[in-house]
Structure 1
Amino acid sequence: MAGDTSEIVLSRQDLREVAGFAAACAEAVLEVFETDQPDDPRPREAVRAAWEFARGGERGKSLRDTASAALKAAKSAQTAAAREAAWAAMSAAGAAYLHPLAKATQVKHILGAGAYAARAAELVADDDQRAGAEFLDQVVRRATPVVVDVLKRFPAAPDGGGRVGELIRALDADLRSLTLTE
């Protein structure tokens, strides 16, 4: 459908705001991974690269490499919570690569780190979904007006994706309902 592939205007500053938001979400659960794998710096390096881009760095090989490394780190995790925390870090580094296409699947670039981090929080709390809801409340408070504006340029999050998909859709709905001013 033509509407699914139309271009959305995204500035470099928009991408930096999204990356900073994602980095803050992932950073909140890095300890979950590091408790499981104390000698593996790959998720922290992915979050650091996301912060570097958010603060004015280049969008290049470092982001891609650290995102890929965090994905590999997730595979080495001993617990599901640590795996989700590493995926949050991978998503943070990948947030800078939000594509300017009006596709619902792009919403995961904006909200994936927050949703994976919320899932990690649930798993740490013995799979208690209230912990995920509380984490999502924190994520909503982290969202800047620019992040909310960027999100609203895209279609609503798509169906599917298991529990993380549910968390993305909940976060999407919460952020879209906000009326923020800078």
Structure 2
Amino acid sequence: MTGEVSEIALSKQELREVTAFAAASAEAALEVFEGDQPDDLRPREAVRAAWEFARGGERGKALRDSAWAALRAAKGADTVAAREAARAAMSAAGAAYLHPLARATQVKHILGAGAHAARAAELVADDDRCVGVEHLERTLQRATPVLVDVLKRFPSAPRGGGRVGELIRMLDADLRSLIFAE
């Protein structure tokens, strides 16, 4: 049947690993948002909620609400860099909701926080693309074998998405090429 998408088996522990990776990636960008909006804790709360799930909490309304709140914070930020940092936090909380569908678009749930954080870093550095690449290199160091295994079950990241999409594809390619010692 055309249009049918196969499902990918994902355990709760694997979702926790993906979310921990995303939370660590977004955490690196919180200072960018807070430098712009020091009284707005919504992105920090989204990252906190992501960490809570990654460390054994449940996926629930509070986690989902924190992701939406971080997205609203992004819309209210004064700078593009701060908006990207808040989107990184939103992506971290949203990583817990990775869908088990074999679609390339799901890769954004895995890598979106890292890409948005890298874009925020670039923008703070006057759009220096080298800064984004360096940020992605640090993000790669947080990868675990479980994260890479989950990522490899999905098709490669899709085209489009502007610079953030480009950063997602770079991170995707680099993670898929990692080899871990056994």
Normalised to the residue count of structure 2, the TM-score between the two structures is: 0.98
**Structure 2 counterpart of 1:35, one-letter code:** G
Q: CA deviation at 1:38?
A: 0.3
Asked if 2 retains the 8 angstrom alpha-carbon contact of 1:4 and 1:103, the reply is no
For 1:120, the aligned partner's letter is A
Checking the alignment, whether the CA contact within 8 Å between 1:4 and 1:102 is kept in structure 2 is no
Structure 2 unaligned residues grouped into runs of 5+? none
After TM superposition, the structure 1 = structure 2 runs for residues 162-181 of structure 1, keeping only pairs within 5 Å, are 162-181=162-181
Deviations 1:104-153 (A, max 9, x none): 00000000000000000000000000000000000110111111110000
Matching residue of 2:68: 68
Output the aligned Cα RMSD: 1.2
Q: Kindly indicate whether the alpha-carbon contact (under 8 Å) linking 1:3 and 1:102 is maintained by their aligned counterparts in 2.
A: no
SS in 2 for 1:142: coil
> 4+ runs of 1 displaced by more than 2 Å?
1-4
- In structure 2, the residue matched to 1:119 is 119
Q: Secondary structure at the match of 2:56?
A: coil
Rounded Cα–Cα distance in structure 2 between residues aligned with 1:87 and 1:58: 22
Q: State TM-score, norm by structure 1.
A: 0.98
Structure 1 position 154 matched with structure 2 position 168: no
Structure 1 unaligned spans of 5+? none
User: How far is 1:63 from its partner?
Assistant: 1.0
Corresponding residue number in structure 1 for 2:98: 98
- Displacement of 1:3 in angstroms is 8.0
Identity of aligned residues (%): 79
- Tell me what 2:138 maps to: 138
Deviation at 1:2, TM superposition (A): 5.4
CA distance in 1, matches of 2:47, 2:88: 9
Number of residue-to-residue matches in the alignment: 182
Alpha-carbon distance between aligned partners in 2 of 1:117 and 1:177, rounded to the nearest angstrom: 21
